[in-house]
Structure 1
């Protein structure tokens, strides 16, 4: 091949490579169409402060990725104190936010009402419900009457403004805020105007959301592209999941009681051992959970007092009196732990209360029965402990001799003599350094 031909051939290859590289460096908008992204976060254990932090992180990630939508699924109730800041963040989001109460039959409570009102699109699973019998705009009674009225009006103004912007039923939202109201998904969609936008299962959401238009707080109009979109699950880290579990009053209650039992076992057997360290860690974890769940401090004191009374049963031996008093304090403390008007749906499980009370009661009954049995037993030390023991005749008792009992030789006498060497006899009494023995009854 001629040199000139080789030159043109190499130049053509070089130009081809440059064209391929240029196409590869083109931005997605000029190349292949970028695939839509929908971020999805699930609040599994109720909206507690740690769960609210997870939702906030999911919103920031969705905004940073300029996602087509963020879906927030709420399972169960939660804390209104934690829900208000989340609702304000969702309402002011730079991406479309879909608030979803699921799965089928879920009870969103007042937190559900707050979130579906704040979200750009409100969705619920079939047979799910939102609302609560108490007013959503709940204000602490520690404020003056005038301040309470101002705070209630401010909350109602905010909720109705969100409902009006979304085209939702303003009258129902105001009723829920001022007096309290509960509504199921199907009824919420049938009202005119509706309380929510759609009723669907989680699998049906992409189809039902496709093409819906929303107006963001910035004034921007966005059209949802959810069909075929890549779903990015925002999952909690190990620490976030742990704090969410600790913030559940039921979990914190059980940890507190188990920790108290472990500390009691350590005190009953002095020494820095595994029960003491484990109990201290469990109690610290429970206290952290109580702080996260915003429980009533007086209820925690009732729980501590109940554990102390149950533990004193072993030392004082009140024959069950202290145990009963301690169990009453424990049950009252557990029932009083959560304010249902501020954190509905997060109260301590009745099953956990009954299980813990039954476990402590059985343990106390066992201790009392053991103590009573020990106190009713004959002495097990000294010479009196020999009475009733079997002895072997080592020197014929006629009427005096020697017997072997408990590893020692004893002088013995009997009014049933003679007793031959090697014969087994029963110690019937102690007279100084002599044992009174007699022949074994036939039943022995």
Structure 2
């Protein structure tokens, strides 16, 4: 009887989870699956990596659609083009949706919006403003990019729009005229297919709608869909962080100053390790967006001058030149036409702020060097001069004495005998031997 009961319990323990799992799988398979990705920040290489993974996951799990929830001011050109390429090659319908109310899909965001097979916007949202911009030396504000860049991006966004049945002329005006349109205007012009307040409402509206996808007509099945969000993994978070030009340059400066501090204070290890890691991450980040070669040269020149100032102090001459070179390099380094003018202006202010911090650091470093040069040498032949101690054993003629808590070999100048326990004064030091003389206990 005990054996039969044991067999029944084992069977129940094994069967119940399996049956529950099978039941869950059947429920999941019975409802359409919708995967979503939030794009609520700058478009970076980390964003592109997450969308690539999202498309693959949607295909593997046979999702009904992949929804990109847009609220972005723009981003990096290469990352945007990579995203458009992944969306175009997707075997799962892509829905691009500007949400929540008040959100924007500006600059690079408008490219991604037009890359969807179904486009939608929440009330009160806007899109457009994709005219490429750049920072020009000698100008206070941002400037329009060169004609070659404008023509390329205008032609590309027109191609994206027309491929997905959108008005190519309106899309082209996003780039050539910096056109910005509201959700209502987007619906009237055919840029957006729907205006819906939230995702659930949108999925209910498009259920049963037919769309052209991969050369064929398919019917959308989105009623009572299971909605799952694809969150960024650790690698994508790190990539997103360091491919942001602002973060990259902060890491660059932390790396430079960490190494400089480490050179001036050998043996601490923490600044050198932190600086080396930051510098490697910064160099990795620099490879993820377009840069100006002249600016790169200026930054590395500035780094060289700062290191030279630390190794061979010139009381600020090399250091000042280094700070100026780094600041100028940072200001003109990013060549990213699909970020907003506001972002570029903020970037310029950040560069000036880094220069100010660098100048303060340089002043502190120079002040410390000046004080250091005025401080008398403490270690060396005069380290124990006139210090008092006591003999730990007989000096006959040499023996051990204790000075400042340390044991040293010592003798008198005349090499005379001094008994243990005698108080002594240090007269000088010859390498590792102290020359001492007996003194009264008082």
Q: TM class by shorter-chain length?
A: 0.5 to 0.7
Q: 2:277 maps to which residue?
A: 281
Task: Kindly indicate whether the alpha-carbon contact (under 8 Å) linking 1:108 and 1:129 is maintained by their aligned counterparts in 2.
Answer: yes
Query: Where in structure 2 are the equivalents of 1:15-414 lying within 5 Å?
Result: 34-76=30-72, 77-125=74-122, 126-134=124-132, 155=156, 158-163=159-164, 165=165, 168-177=166-175, 179-189=176-186, 191-195=188-192, 197-198=194-195, 200-201=197-198, 205-225=202-222, 227-271=223-267, 273-341=269-337, 344=340, 347=344, 349-350=347-348, 352-372=350-370
Preserved contact between residue 264 and residue 311 of structure 2 (Cα < 8 Å): no
SS of residue matched to 2:86: helix
User: Aligned in 2, Cα 1:153/1:47: closer, same or farther, shift over 3 Å?
Assistant: closer
State the Cα distance separating 1:204 from its structure 2 match: 5.1
The SS at the match of 1:261 is: helix
Larger Rg: 1
CA contact (8 A) 1:189 1:198 kept: no
Q: Distance in 2 between matches of 1:352 and 1:202?
A: 37
Q: Could you say what secondary structure the match of 1:293 adopts?
A: coil
Q: Tell me whether 229-238 or 204-213 shows the greater mean CA deviation.
A: 204-213
Distance 1:131 1:176 in 2: 5
Q: 1:305 to 1:380 in 2, by over 3 A?
A: same
CA distance 1:156–1:366, change in 2 (3 Å)? closer
| CA distance in structure 2 between the partners assigned to 1:202 and 1:358 by the alignment | 46
Instruction: Using the TM superposition, give the Cα deviation of residue 238 of structure 1 relative to its aligned residue in structure 2, in angstroms.
Output: 0.9
Question: Which deviations, in whole Å up to 9, do the C-alpha atoms of 1:333-368 show, x marking residues without a partner?
Answer: 122121132555775735543442232222222233
Whole-angstrom distance in 1 between the partners of 2:314 and 2:198: 58
Q: Report SS of the residue matched to 2:334.
A: coil
Equivalent residue runs for 1:402-441 within 5 Å:
none
RMSD: 4.1
Q: Which runs of 5+ in 2 are unaligned?
A: 1-18, 134-143, 380-403, 405-442
Q: For structure 1, list consecutive stretches of 5 or more residues without a partner in the other structure.
A: 1-20, 382-406, 408-444
